[in-house]
Amino acid sequence: MTAVQALAMPAAGAAFETITIQRRALRDDDVRIEIAYAGICHSDIHTVREEWGPITFPLVPGHEIAGVVAEVGPAVTRVRVGDRVGVGCMVDSCGTCDACKDGQENYCRNGAVWTYGSDDVDGTTTQGGYSQQVVVAERFVARVPDGIGLDVAAPLLCAGITTYNPLKRFGAGPGTTVAVVGLGGLGHMGVKIAVAMGAEVTVMSRTRAKEADARELGASGYVATGEEGALEAVASTYDIVLNTVSADLPVQAYLETTRPRGALVNVGLPPSDFVVSPWSVVGGSRIVAGSNIGGMALTQEMLDFCAQHDIAATIETISADDVDAAYDRVVAGDVHYRAVIDVTSIGAAATTSAH
């Protein structure tokens, strides 16, 4: 076991604290990663604020992890000490069910082990990436291509794959129109990836505040959804509407902006159910879909795609002391467009508080 410093939420409604956690001794196929950066995903916030149900505290969130390999088990073949790597939302899966065999570990029939707050195969609860190190089975380690900095790579491990997966599956590309709803961490990656795939992209955001940024990211259209009649004006327009919003939304109104046979793909996970009328699904033979991150092969494909197209996340780098404030800024939609923790500051914060 190795003791490492980590940033944990100690109790519901509390502030983050630096604690010591244990990382397991390396198994044969394990990789020890010295973490450099960890992105703050809205899922971290939903989780520690118990918006998805009760959790066990203390919890170290973080599933957008980028760092350098520090040690490998004897059976590891794909990565070596010194390699730049990433870990996303999963750290294990059964590996034997049809989903795993098909590269869809994210839909493992026996339940994937999520990177934090999940029951691990050894009976412990997983702790995430807001920490100095993580130990992960090689199967769940992705290579960060040369040319993508570790800081801007970290958010690709969740925000990147979560948007790449449905855009690819529903056919974003030349001649298609894509609307991305919500310009946050997922949304801004959705725009960059859909543009790189060759689609014509529109951003749907609450106000005009993000319009200039959206156009800089490559969007040719912009809908300020808070303006009267904004969605009605783009009824039946898009092949794919990718909803990344973290809050409850009148999904019906967005579904009606898809073309006949188009798809509304929900990746946002707000607390409440949504309702759609059978008429709007049947009338245009529309698809209401969802998507959850992506398998490991697709995650690697996404990273390579980003390197090839010279894209990565647009980030604000923060220190361990800023995480509580950053959570509030994420919820307010103020972060442009992903807050990423400089993990070296976690140890530094601990040293300071010890004096």
Nearer to Zn ion, 58 or 268 (CB): 268
Quick count: other Cβ atoms within 10 Å of Cβ 253? 15
- Write out the binding residues for Zn ion, residues 30-69 only, by CB under 5 A: 41, 43
Q: Is 179 in the site for Zn ion (CB under 5 A)?
A: no
- In the complex, the smallest distance separating the C-beta of residue 104 from ligand NAP, rounded to whole angstroms, is 13
Q: Is 219 in the site for ligand NAP (CB under 6 A)?
A: no
Residue 206's binding partner among Zn ion, ligand NAP, none (Cβ under 5 to 8 angstroms by kind) is: ligand NAP
Q: Give the three-state DSSP class for 86.
A: strand
Nearer to ligand NAP, 21 or 238 (CB): 238
Amino acid (1-letter code) at residue 152: V
β-bridge mates for residue 238, sequence order: 258
How many Å apart are CA 172 and CA 169, to the nearest integer? 8
Amino acid (1-letter code) at residue 84: R
Near ligand NAP by CB under 6 A: residue from 27, 139, 168, 206: 206
Q: Is 25 in the site for ligand NAP (CB under 6 A)?
A: no
How many Å apart are CA 336 and CA 65, to the nearest integer? 19
- Write out the binding residues for ligand NAP, residues 101-160 only, by CB under 6 A: 158-159
Residue 176's binding partner among Zn ion, ligand NAP, none (Cβ under 5 to 8 angstroms by kind) is: none
How many Å apart are CA 48 and CA 211, to the nearest integer? 31
Q: Are 317 and 151 spatial neighbours (Cβ–Cβ below 8 Å)?
A: yes
How many Å apart are CA 36 and CA 66, to the nearest integer? 6
Residue 166's binding partner among Zn ion, ligand NAP, none (Cβ under 5 to 8 angstroms by kind) is: none
- Write out the binding residues for Zn ion, residues 134-173 only, by CB under 5 A: 158
Nearer to Zn ion, 43 or 104 (CB): 43
Near ligand NAP by CB under 6 A: residue from 268, 298, 313, 350: 268
| Gyration radius (Cα) of the chain, Å | 20
Q: Compute CA distances 189 → 149, 162, 163, 295, 324, whole Å.
A: 16, 9, 7, 18, 23
Q: Is 39 in the site for ligand NAP (CB under 6 A)?
A: no
- Write out the binding residues for ligand NAP, residues 46-75 only, by CB under 6 A: 46
Quick count: other Cβ atoms within 10 Å of Cβ 174? 8
Near ligand NAP by CB under 6 A: residue from 25, 75, 233, 247: 247
Q: Is 6 in the site for ligand NAP (CB under 6 A)?
A: no
**Phi and psi dihedrals of 143, rounded to 5?**
-85, 135
End-to-end CA distance of the chain: 27
Nearer to Zn ion, 43 or 345 (CB): 43
Nearer to ligand NAP, 42 or 192 (CB): 42
By Cβ distance, which residue is nearest to Zn ion? Answer: 41
Tokens coding 106: 């994210």
Q: Is 42 in the site for ligand NAP (CB under 6 A)?
A: yes
Q: Which residues contact 311 (CB under 8 A, 6 or more apart)?
A: 192, 193, 196
How many Å apart are CA 230 and CA 181, to the nearest integer? 13
- Write out the binding residues for ligand NAP, residues 176-205 only, by CB under 6 A: 182-187, 205
Near ligand NAP by CB under 6 A: residue from 178, 194, 330, 350: 330
Binding site for ligand NAP (CB under 6 A): 41-43, 46, 158-159, 162, 182-187, 205-206, 210, 244-247, 249, 267-270, 291-293, 330, 333
Binding site for Zn ion (CB under 5 A): 41, 43, 158
